[in-house]
Structure 1
Amino acid sequence: MSSTQKPVSSEDALGQKYDRCLADLLVKSGVGFGAGVVASVILFRRKTWPIALSTGFGAGAAYADCDRSFNPARIPGTRILPKAEAPASK
């Protein structure tokens, strides 16, 4: 059996990135929400600010990851070379 892969269209690739970003947002915000509830109940006498703060931290982390997936130039230590300076492949 030969495994030939069909090329993925740009619309499908973009849709997959958006789906990954949305799933990441839901997971990280949910984990932040859960950690905030636990911290609120145990440490802060049932105040609401730990819940909002940790949910915001989770959403911010998801936003940063999504930004890096759509714009790879923002990854620290990454250099984008122009076509003329790109090394030739062997």
Structure 2
Amino acid sequence: MTASWARDPNTVHNVDQLWRVTPLSGSDQHSQAFVIDNLTAQVNFYEDVAAKMRERMEALPKGEQAELEEVAAALRRVRAGGDHQLLPLTVVSKNGA
């Protein structure tokens, strides 16, 4: 399911601006302004995404919100390398060798 913010034409412009490669030539002041503008655009973009995600979460029934928060917390622990065991996997060759 595609998030509604992903279809917003304004978002496309922001993404294009964030990843545009522009040479930082000229004065230091111009370079600093370019970097600050791009970082500000990134922050604004992610704040908008987070706000829309919060709105969608708040629209869910309380039970579903709790389930999603529990699953998200578990995923964060796993991604952080918490206490979990890897499955014992064996590599099997296609030719049987």
TM-score (normalised: structure 1): 0.36
Tell me the TM-score normalised to structure 2 length: 0.34
Question: Which one has the largest radius of gyration?
Answer: 2
Task: Name which structure has the greater RCO, CA cutoff 8 Å, separation 6+.
Answer: 1
